[in-house]
A = this chain, B = another copy of it.
């Protein structure tokens, strides 16, 4: 069932341990589900209870610790030997009396980690303030260090196999965007377009199925296009609406997001003016991508491009993408923004989404790309423009506007 060769997992573990040594961490408690998956293969919707992977410099294998009923999943989906799968009884789950970290602290002590330098992922969704408190109380002789993003930074440069999975995710994203654009018509409800999107994302292709994206499809319409993170309603599209669609194809937990903006029938003057500015900016940024350039320099390209036209944008332009779980498909490492000194390397992968939001409208035209040896390539092939619809209906299989 493993999606990667053993050698790749070993390589990831080796790089993680190198970073642990540099950070003065002897034992790393990995709680980010994407990091757990990355190192072990573990893949299940069990992250709503406390669980972790324990990586010790001294041990050849990580140890998986989670809920009793999830241990079968750890045995089935990881390369970890069965005797390195440890589980806590169900009365620890969401209880007022017991906390899983009490059990886990005890196990860590038994594993000889009582006085160790222990790294924890301090700002992860799945490492709560209480989890940390209970660990510290029960391991008073350990020294805790913030090892947040330690594994995330190992994930920043993708392997060829990871790129293959992202290409499959890109194919799903592309096909889904065609379906989504076709479904947007006056009288159709936002929820029905969302349903079409989901259906295509999950079915995937005839050759391979799709996985659930870490963020739901976002598809605000009308005035709500000024509000980027609203989810759908059952409002029906109207003539003159603008509709933003942001979605990600997902394959084996690898994501490729894409966003487009659709104008239903007549287009406002504002959108007519702004859309070529965004497209030009995206093109200029993509042209500037190559190894050796920094993320901050890409932002500068964008800023210069749109400032020529009299626009500015405060929010970041994009972020590193790949393997992930809800609630975010971004990797929380490199961002395409001012001051980010990440130097681009081949097989880094980003979602470039220079969205612009105003008081009562917004526009999003995005591309996910991979840094290549001398430039970049996008994961999807979809007309990079605002979609004016009808009379221009998308023709699904040649990718042209007919």
Contacts and interface: CB of A to CB of B under 8 A. Distances in A.
A146 B126 contact: no
Interface of A is mostly: loop
Contacts of A126: 125
A45 B327 contact: yes
Contacts of A357: 69, 72
B191 A229 contact: no
Contacts of A337: 90-91
Interface residues of A, number: 85
Number of copies of this protein chain within its complex = 2
A43 interface: yes
Nearest to A126: B125
Given A73-B227, A198-B195, A234-B208, A123 B132 contact: no
Interface stretch (A18-26, A56-64, A210-218, A254-262): A210-218
A95 to B, nearest CB: 8
Interface string A188-205: 011110111011111110
A389 to B, nearest CB: 21
Contacts of A210: 191, 195
A159 interface: no
A90 B202 contact: no
A326 interface: yes
A93 interface: yes
Nearest to A124: B128
Nearest to A125: B125
A211 B199 contact: no
Contacts of A204: 191, 234
A343 interface: no
A7 B241 CA distance: 34
Contact of A129 (B68, B73, B131, B216): B131
A226 interface: yes
Interface in A43-89: 43-48, 68-70, 72-73, 76-77, 89
Interface of A: 43-48, 68-70, 72-73, 76-77, 89-91, 93-97, 99, 120, 122-133, 146, 148-149, 189-192, 194-196, 198-204, 208-212, 215-216, 218, 224, 226-234, 314-316, 319, 326-328, 330, 332, 335, 337-339, 357, 359
